[in-house]
Amino acid sequence: MDSTEPLRDKNGLTEEEFLAAYSPKNYPRPSLTADICVFRRKDESLELLLVKRGGHPFLGCWATPGGFVNPKETADEAAARELEEETHVAGLALEPVGLFSTPGRDPRGWTISYAFCALDDTGAIAKAGDDAAKAIWFKVTPSQKAGRTTFALDAGDAHLVTSFATQEAPVTGRLRPKDVEGQGLAFDHAEIIAAAWLTLPENVRSWRADLLL
């Protein structure tokens, strides 16, 4: 066989012929979003930046900053862009937390989120923008009882609660949340926040050792 002849698949098609006949519409495709958990240490407290949703779904609920990834950008680029658009916080180093893909997590349809976390040491002043109605730093007060961690998230009159157990990842041994319960948070953002917190360095998680794990 001539080595210059293009390879053909079991249907006798070259790659060029296959791509010419291929239609993405024949296959269901998810949307991809990026969500960002930004923590900071202020005075004697650990704080988390949340936004109040200004549109459906979950209108009026609190959420992590984030939004849809555009076709010509990476999830990392989208995370930085959405964080700045919704909170005016920019220039932070973002680190991946994980992929969140539980069926039904978004009532708009099949949507997968790539979540990130960041530590702010710039003293950033959050200001709502884009489709966020508010952007506020919430004080994080964790406690532990009967193998579960509970977060109280407080900012003025807003009070949110998230609780979860943990399990070790089978390869790295890194702690991951399980059996997450949350009140007042949109989508599965209680799970995303729990996973992001477990990603933080121990010296940050142990800030105010009388309160944190």
Residue 130 has pLDDT above 70, yes or no: no
- 131 vs 186: which has the higher pLDDT: 186
Whole-angstrom CA distances from 127 to 49, 90, 121, 134 are 11, 11, 17, 7
| First vs last C-alpha separation in the chain | 66
**Amino acid occupying residue 78:** A
**Window from 33-42, 133-142, 185-194 with minimum mean pLDDT:** 133-142
- Give CA–CA dist 157/26, Å, rounded: 49
Fold classified for 32-205: Nucleoside Triphosphate Pyrophosphohydrolase (3.90.79)
pTM score, whole prediction:
0.88
Predicted pLDDT at 210: 44
Diameter over CA atoms, the chain: 76
Q: Is the predicted pLDDT of residue 53 greater than 80, yes or no?
A: yes
* Mean pLDDT computed over every residue of the chain: 89
H/E element, 162:
strand 158-168
Dihedral, 181, 186, 187, 189 alpha carbons, nearest 10: -60
**What pLDDT does residue 206 have?**
61
Q: Mean of the pLDDT values across residues 113-133?
A: 82
pLDDT band (50, 70, 90) for residue 209: very low
CB 138 within 8 A of CB 47: yes
pLDDT tens-digit map of 198-208? 998 876 666 54
> What percentage of the chain exceeds 70 in pLDDT?
92
Instruction: Say yes or no to pLDDT of 213 above 70.
Output: no
Q: Rounded to an integer, what distance in angstroms lies between the CA atom of residue 102 and that of residue 193? A: 15
154-175 tens-digit pLDDT: 998 999 999 999 999 999 999 9
Q: Give the start-to-end residue ranges of the domains of the chain.
A: 32-205
Which amino acid is residue 59, in one-letter code? L
Confidence of residue 79 (pLDDT cuts 50, 70, 90): very high
